[in-house]
Amino acid sequence: MTDAAPIETLHLTDNLRMSDSLDDLFAHNRAWSAQMERDKPGFFSGLVKQQTPRYMWIGCSDSRVPANQITGLEPGEVFVHRNVANIVVHSDLNALSAIQFAVEHLKVAHIMVVGHYGCAGVKAALSGTRIGLADNWIRHIQDVRDRHHVMLDSLPEEVRADALCELNVAEQVVNVAVSTVMVDAWGRGQKVTIHGWSFGVHDGLLQDLGLSVDGGKPLEAMYKAAVQRIRYKWSRPGETVTLLNGKPPAPAEAAPAGQPPAPEGSSAQAAD
């Protein structure tokens, strides 16, 4: 490690622009490792013993949405599962195995499902653009699109993809919540909460969509409230900052005067 260059002299992106050599990656890695040991002596020997993350991140594979950097978390602090467009399919053994390991073995306290604006998968789903094998994967988002087509059609065209990004997050939060892993965890009294977040590639900021599920409240009502907030937010793009700066308003306050919440009796599928 002594021969590693100081980390401040290495700017990975610049180096990669100049060269396709993978040597740059190893050089940066050596510098990073050395810097970590300088900052926190014994850091890696501590990691060897165990990982005790409090968080699980379920996000998009998009290279612009790196979980650790966005949240300022270090190795050992967040357990990550990523796929195209952050989808949790009921029968996806890859995602379910990751969630089970995180919940049952690592005992994470929070699971964040994180979508991002400008997601190519969401855009393709919205427009019906064929991109290849992934069409079949993205079909899950088209199901979300079709479920909320009344709302999406009513929104300005330029915000529909962002709205669908958030609707997809809400849908995937529900999919995690109804998995046997979560039902069993909550059934035995384990404290773990699932959150729906979105990330702005344009400003680097996370937003809490206000859908946090801990097994204690009726899931369908929470889902409907989240969908209402999304509809309200994107039908008034100019008010977005005041509405969602920090914690969003409680569901009862989300609908403005004269726009009562959807009837309780309507199904989630008709929540629009």
CB of 156 to Co ion, least distance (A): 21
What is the rounded CA–CA span in Å between residue 236 and residue 151?
13
* Residue ranges that bind Co ion, judged by CB under 5 A: 60, 62, 119
- Choose among 211, 209, 193, 195: nearest CA to 117: 209
Least CB distance from residue 105 to Co ion, whole Å? 28
Instruction: Report in angstroms how near the CB of residue 141 gets to Co ion at its nearest.
Output: 10
Closest to 197 in 3D by CA, of 181, 213, 220: 213
Query: Which residue lies nearer to Co ion by CB, 201 or 250?
Result: 201
Identity of the residue, 117 or 232, whose beta carbon is nearer to Co ion in the bound complex? 117
Give the shortest CB-113-to-Co ion separation in angstroms: 13
Neighbours of 47 (CB within 10 A): 13
Residue among 62 and 166 whose Cβ is closer to Co ion: 62
When the beta carbons of 176 and 182 are compared against Co ion, the nearer one is 176
Beta carbon nearer to Co ion, 62 or 92: 62
CB–CB of 228/251 below 8 Å? Answer: yes
Residues with active-site annotation: 60, 62, 64, 116, 119
Determine the distance from the C-alpha atom of residue 93 to the mean position of all C-alpha atoms in its chain, rounded to a whole number.
19
Distance between CA atoms of 219 and 172, rounded to whole angstroms?
A: 12
DSSP string, 85-153: T----TT-HHHHHHHHIIIIIS--SEEEEEEETT-HHHHHHHHT---STHHHHHHHHHHHHHHTHHHHH
State whether residue 109 is helix, strand or coil. Answer: coil
Contacts of 266 (CB under 8 A, 6+ apart): 224
Alpha-carbon distance 194 to 211, whole Å? 8
Distance of closest approach, residue 246 Cβ to Co ion, in angstroms: 24
Q: Which residues pair with 212 in a beta bridge?
A: 195
